[in-house]
Chains A and B, each alone.
Chain A
Amino acid sequence: KAGVTQTPRYLIKTRGQQVTLSCSPISGHRSVSWYQQTPGQGLQFLFEYFSETQRNKGNFPGRFSGRQFSNSRSEMNVSTLELGDSALYLCASSLGRVDYEQYFGPGTRLTVT
């Protein structure tokens, strides 16, 4: 079974631009979560989607948004990029509401210049 895939793997953007990251969960998984990882901050939770509905949301500004499609694939969008948005963005999938084990993709490394 294929794992969680994320595209693109690396991205360089300029301040003020916007970016869209994509995540394809493990086949059959209906829950997708997004995290931001920066040095010293660990993994900061962005949001979680289940069956196309946002189920949980972290403490990030409204510039960060996401969505989930009917095939469980998910995208996250960051508008008006800031230098501090440079990070590794990780996507994780799990089977559903009662499954606590999340399986992570390799991440998208975003650099904002």
Chain B
Amino acid sequence: DQQVKQNSPSLSVQEGRISILNCDYTNSMFDYFLWYKKYPAEGPTFLISISSIKDKNEDGRFTVFLNKSAKHLSLHIVPSQPGDSAVYFCAARRTASKLTFGTGTRLQVTL
């Protein structure tokens, strides 16, 4: 049972434009959500997180939006840069429980 889903396996965006990566979840008990970025041959790198008591968190070019009623979160990257090309994983957990990851979305930022 995939409790965290990233339905788009890949996304291609032009440099300078906005990248929007989406994630859906089914477990209403999740209270913390995270995004990780992964380059080949490296472990995932923490990017940004959001608590369920918020609906938006911003860090530089990265903004995460949470829509609890829709059980949906999204990561916006503005403006997109070639170095952002990587696989992005969303993850969710409830207090003191394990992190559940999505299957990832490969972002390609083209020149």
A interface residues with partner B (beta carbon < 8 Å): 4, 33, 35, 40-45, 48, 55-56, 58, 90, 92, 97, 100-107
Contacts and interface: CB of A to CB of B under 8 A. Distances in A.
A90 B87 CA distance: 15
Contact of A42 (B46, B96, B104): B104
B93 interface: yes
Contacts of A102: 46, 99
Nearest to B44: A104
A94 B37 CA distance: 17
Contact of A104 (B45, B93, B98, B103): B45
Contact of B49 (A42, A45, A101, A106): A101
A100 B44 contact: no
Contacts, number: 52
Q: How large is the interface on B (under 10, 10 to 19, 20 to 34, 35 or more residues)?
A: 20 to 34
A66 to B, nearest CB: 13
Nearest to B48: A101
Nearest to A35: B101
Given A42-B104, A58-B98, A100-B93, A90 B41 contact: no
B42 interface: yes
A90 B49 contact: no
Contacts of A56: 97-98
Given A4-B43, A90-B44, A106-B42, A101 B34 contact: yes
Given A33-B98, A100-B34, A105-B43, 15 more contacts: A4-B43, A35-B101, A42-B89, A43-B91, A44-B101, A45-B98, A55-B96, A58-B98, A92-B43, A92-B44, A101-B34, A102-B99, A104-B44, A104-B45, A106-B42
